[in-house]
Amino acid sequence: MSRYKVYVRPRACKEINDLPGHVRQRVRRAVDRLADDPCPPGSKKLELSESEHPVYRLRIEKWRILYCVVESDFTIDVLAARKRPPYDYGDIKELLNG
């Protein structure tokens, strides 16, 4: 199995850095592990028509990591790290274009 290259968008990086300390460390470890397994246990593929590539969410406690997998390039693009609730994925189109 090939190792994926993980890119964290600047907005997602800021969101991760702003997380509470114990959650921040877990999120960073989870993002690092995506390089070896882009669909780890607990991840869920989101049904979106806005994206040409699959978008997933990974749950860590009340937090969600949103990321896009580009199989052809073996890359993962981390889009956001948000608290759910209240986050409802309403800005997913903006995240995909940004």
Residue-wise pLDDT for 58-80, tens only, equals 999 899 999 999 988 999 999 99
What residues make up the domain containing 12?
5-97
**Residue 9 burial by Cβ neighbours in a 10 Å radius (0-12, 13-18, 19+):** middle
Domain count, the chain: 1
pLDDT at 92 over 90: no
Q: Across the chain, what does the average pLDDT equal?
A: 89
CATH of the domain at 65: 3.30.2310.20
Bridge partners, 26 (sequence order): none
pTM (predicted TM-score): 0.89
